[in-house]
Structure 1
Amino acid sequence: MDHSAHPRLTDAELTQDILAGATVYGPGDQKIGHIDHLHGAGPSAQVIIDVGGFLGIGAKPVRIPLSELDAMRDESGTVHAVTSWSKEALKDLPEHRD
């Protein structure tokens, strides 16, 4: 998928309500997980991504700064995000616990 033409979300749109459930893509357009929730809002928020697993079962929650994601909408309006993190690199992070 070519993400370059997708409109980026504004800082005001970087909220739990808009981002929760969004698919996260890594290098090579590999689907690496889904956004579970945020701590905070806007560009300084921390995002919790469920990585791996199948249909949400066995996924590992990890935390990265929202600034390391590029959040956008595709042609149909579906919110998703792109990051330079690979699935393997995210899986190596410590498990996030609320």
Structure 2
Amino acid sequence: MDHSNHTPLDRTEFNTALLENAPVYGADDHKIGTISHVHGAGAVTDVVLDVGGFLGIGSKPVLVSVDQLNLMRDEDGNIHGVTSWTKEQLQELPEHQH
């Protein structure tokens, strides 16, 4: 996926309404997870990524700072994130307890 035409989100847009269910892609452009929910808003925001599994079944929730993600909007207005983390690295993080 070519992200060069995608518009980075402003920190004021870091909220549940926009980010929930957004896919997150790793450095190799393969989907590595989905944002399941958001903690905080604006400058102090963490997201819970559901990593692994299939259609949300068997996935592991992990907490990641939005500073670890490049959140953007594509040409169709869809929100997604890109990170340098691999799925394996994210799966090694502690499981987030809701």
TM-score band, normalised by shorter chain: over 0.9
Structure with bigger helix share is 1
Pairwise mapping of residues 60-71 of structure 1 onto structure 2 (< 5 A)? 60-71=60-71
The TM-score, its normalising length taken from structure 2, stands at 0.96
The 1-side partners of 2:10 and 2:3 are apart by 16
The 2-side partners of 1:78 and 1:70 are apart by 14
Structure with bigger strand share is 2
Instruction: Indicate the RMSD between aligned Cα atoms, in angstroms.
Output: 0.8
Cα deviations by residue, 1:51-86 (Å, 9 ceiling, x for unpaired): 001011001000111111111111111100001110
In structure 2, what is the equivalent of residue 46 of structure 1? 46
Structure 2 gap segments, 5+ residues each: none
Aligned length in residues: 98
Structure 1 gap segments, 5+ residues each: none
Task: Determine what percentage of the aligned residue pairs are the same residue.
Answer: 54
The TM-score, its normalising length taken from structure 1, stands at 0.96
